[in-house]
Structure 1
Amino acid sequence: MSKVVISEFMDEAAIAAELSGFEVVYDPGLVDRPEALVAALAGADGLIVRNRTQLRGDLLARAPDLKVVGRLGVGLDNIDVEACRTRGIAVYPATGANDGAVAEYVVACALLLLRGAYGASVEVAAGTWPRNALMGREIAGKRLGLLGFGAIARETARRAAALGMAIAAYDPYCAPEDAVWRPAHGPVARVTLDALIADSDVLSLHVPLTDATRGLIDAAAIARMPRDAVLINAARGGIVDEAAVAAALRSGHLGGAALDVFAQEPLDGQGGAVFAGVPNLILTPHIAGVTRESNVRVSAVTARAVRRHLAER
């Protein structure tokens, strides 16, 4: 009987439906107990993770029987994919299963940060009636810049276009003749990286964390963004200089920012201190792609891929 270890939270109905007949070790707390995770991986044929389990180096070496890894999401920066390939370990991300959830998050953050009125409940309830201070901006007519134009960015573009935004994107891996630049909702402007940064009212990041993208949106890049622009990062921590974002918000150069991912995760009190008292900022705990609905989809897709791979061997 094949053994599958699941080290982070997952939809339990998907486990029951897709992994019946396997020996399943499901403990979402394993990610925070390294030695317990190593012990659980003894004799394990499969491992299912989210983004916090770092499957590389010693942990990978101590799972000698591993044949397949399921990733509850799409980013693979927490998995040594090359080492897995060398050992013949298949890696299956849940491609497409949470695209809509992330796209909704990006558009919702853009609406919240541009309008600016939605955080006024305390003041209104207290009778201060801060109406003149809360005259925000409409999303219609604003330019959305998408750094990276993969599946999630395209879903974001479709939703944003329906709200009247103009869409531009930079992605060196999408050829100029590619049909992705001519979707049904209207053409997407293919621009240079410099133009995207300089001309976007809302800049949303949709790239993996690589040597090329690490620190890409630093203080210099933020300084080139239009005054009052909004920055949204629901991609990967490390792409954005978090201290530079905080400084730009304090100075008033940026009109708002939403960060769902951080260079250090989980963000602790020391790491979060840089954001203390920063205005027009939304911080969320790497949750953009996780909704009740997407968790069901991601879990089912991942468990099914792991089951199929082990059944075929």
Structure 2
Amino acid sequence: MTKPRVLISDKMDPNAERLLREGGCDVDVITGETPEQLIARIGDYDGLAIRSSTKVTKEIIDAAKNLKVIGRAGIGVDNVDIPYASAKGVVVMNTPFGNSITTAEHAIAMMFALARQIPEANAQTQQGLWPKNGFMGIEVTGKTLGLIGAGNIGSIVASRALGLRMKVVAFDPFLSPERAVELGIEKVELDDLLARADFITLHTPLTDQTRNILSRENLAKTKKGVRIVNCARGGLIDEAALKDALDSGQVAGAALDVFQTEPAKESPLFGTPGFICTPHLGASTNEAQVNVALQVAEQIADFLVNGGVTNALNMPSLSAEEAPKLKPYMALAQRLGSLVGQLTTGSLARISIHTEGAAAELNAKPIVAAVLAGFLRTQSDTVNMVNAPFLAKERGLEVREVKTEKAGDYHTLIRVSVKTDSGERSVAGTLFSNSEPRLVELFGIKVEAELDGPMMYIVNEDAPGFIGRIGTLLGENAINIGTFNLGRREAGGEAVLLLSVDEPVPAAVVEKARALPGVKRVMALGF
């Protein structure tokens, strides 16, 4: 039997090559090639192991006639064209947890650097100034650390902070009270965290919900003299507003490892007193680079030799017999999960997945995993159908599965319900022609809509003239409407409008729509 061939195209720990060979693969390590050289070479390989240097484009995937799996040693996969790889049947894997400890430690190091002004003191001391009286630091002991995001990395930071005798409060809609108790931290709302925290550190992905979570408005709500650390993602903080807050003294210090634009050749923050930064070093330790290299090697070998799937970003755990029948259901489930995830506000306690009719006769695990992957993707950029159930459990999210084999209004139906501190709401969808996903109910209102591409969600008072006003607004902003889906509970009551548009709706247009008469809620959605 011919062994699968794997190409390692980026520099990584040599033990990765060893593990691939021990796992039953033939391996070549050829790094530093141009895209043209890689295109000429890749056709002979079943697997490709990369870090961040290799850009896996459409052209490379087209040339990779035998390629079955791409393994990224690390979290970020923006150097891989995942949609095109999926279309070509190539599995894309990453190693989402290999960098957790080192990133958490970097955040703690940045916090200490702020507390004791170490970079500035070092620079002046090396200039021969001996500024002993010019730097008065603060202790972290007894201070309150505010975590924005208490997932894998955030929970590690919490444990380290508790060891330093700090008090830890956390804002995370997916953190259950039970999980907070287990971690020894206090779950709070964002405004409460901003008002109480002496230090704030961010540990969330960059999504529509978290973008500029430390906005100018929220920075103004912080405790005067707060110190802020971001080793997560650029774009979580309004950088111009942060500079103004540093200049005014509202923020005593800020430490960034990530920037909205990278590499950050210039920034309004550069040179600002109280500001320190590093060039995205969160994952840059010897141990982390070894860990991710070993993990990706094990995952690739297991997939190519044994068919095992771990941390795949575009493939669920499925048997060959189940896959064709489950594929459209999983597409529907993931879109329903994404929809309810984008629309849900408040502290989340439970998510329920109810299959009805033909859907209830299928293997529920891939459907549940698809719902959770879609739902959690708004909160984590490392989630996939394989690790979504684990992440949900880690966050203390109660997941319920319900089956009703008897069909109701539709021959097959998937309903996703979430319970938050503001009540329980649900969405439901079916398959047209057994293959085409459709939304048929949204928070108790009957609708019919495809969930695909950029969309706009509006709740408004059912009154004459509204459709014309929203159409005029979008037209004035050169936004073309693809489909127009309406639903209402009763005439003159609350109505829901789902618009598919040709391009994402800018935040400024969302604000204008929110100001229209009769509008109760507006959100830009994406699928």
TM-score by length of 1: 0.83
Q: For residue 70 of structure 2, what is the amino acid of its counterpart? A: V
Quote the residue 2:243 is aligned against: 246
Give the direction of change, closer, same or farther, for the CA distance of 1:6–1:168 in structure 2 (3 Å limit).
farther
Distance 1:76 1:172 in 2: 25
Distance 1:67 1:257 in 2: 44
Distance 2:288 2:192 in 1: 34
Is 1:234 the equivalent of 2:231? yes
Q: Using the TM superposition, name which of 8-17 and 119-128 deviates more.
A: 119-128
- List structure 1 segments (4+ residues) > 6 angstroms apart after TM superposition: none
Q: For residue 283 of structure 1, what is the amino acid of its counterpart? A: C
Q: Using the TM superposition, name which of 276-285 and 17-26 deviates more.
A: 17-26
Which of 218, 221, 237 does residue 218 from structure 2 map onto? 221
Quote the residue 1:306 is aligned against: 300
Q: Which has the higher contact order (CA 8 A, sep 6+)?
A: 1
Report Cα offsets for 1:30-81 as digits up to 9, x if no partner.
Answer: 5xx5444544543443233335656566665665543222222234555555
Distance 1:287 1:120 in 2: 21
Q: Where do residues 121-132 of structure 1 align in structure 2 (5 Å cutoff)?
A: 121-124=122-125, 126=127, 128-132=129-133
Q: Where do residues 1-313 of structure 1 align in structure 2 (5 Å cutoff)?
A: 1-19=3-21, 21-27=25-31, 29=32, 33-51=34-52, 55=56, 63=64, 65-76=66-77, 79=80, 81=82, 84-85=85-86, 87-117=88-118, 119-124=120-125, 126=127, 128-177=129-178, 180-183=179-182, 187-267=184-264, 269=265, 272-313=266-307
Quote the residue 2:367 is aligned against: none
Secondary structure of 2:134 counterpart: helix
Q: For residue 189 of structure 1, what is the amino acid of its counterpart? A: E
Distance 1:237 1:65 in 2: 36
Unaligned runs of 5+ in 2: 308-527
Distance 1:310 1:239 in 2: 38
Q: For residue 312 of structure 1, what is the amino acid of its counterpart? A: N
Give the direction of change, closer, same or farther, for the CA distance of 1:126–1:171 in structure 2 (3 Å limit).
closer
| Cα drift, residue 136 of structure 1 | 0.8
| Cα drift, residue 15 of structure 1 | 2.3
Contact 2:175 2:187 in 1 (8 A): no
Report Cα offsets for 1:190-209 as digits up to 9, x if no partner.
Answer: 11123223332221111122
- The percent of aligned pairs where both chains have the same amino acid is 37
Contact 2:69 2:92 in 1 (8 A): yes
CA RMSD of aligned residues (A): 2.9
Report Cα offsets for 1:268-307 as digits up to 9, x if no partner.
Answer: x3xx243331222222222212211111111101111111
Contact 1:4 1:44 in 2 (8 A): yes
Report Cα offsets for 1:78-105 as digits up to 9, x if no partner.
Answer: 5555655555433332233222111111
Give the greater-gyration-radius structure (CA): 2
Contact 2:20 2:27 in 1 (8 A): no
Distance 2:162 2:134 in 1: 28
Secondary structure of 2:11 counterpart: coil
Give the paired residue count. Answer: 303
Q: For residue 280 of structure 1, what is the amino acid of its counterpart? A: G
Contact 1:19 1:303 in 2 (8 A): no
Quote the residue 2:473 is aligned against: none
Report Cα offsets for 1:87-136 as digits up to 9, x if no partner.
Answer: 54333322332221111111111111012145323433555442332111
Q: Using the TM superposition, name which of 42-51 and 154-163 deviates more.
A: 42-51
Unaligned runs of 5+ in 1: none
Q: For residue 182 of structure 1, what is the amino acid of its counterpart? A: V
Richer in strand (by share): 2
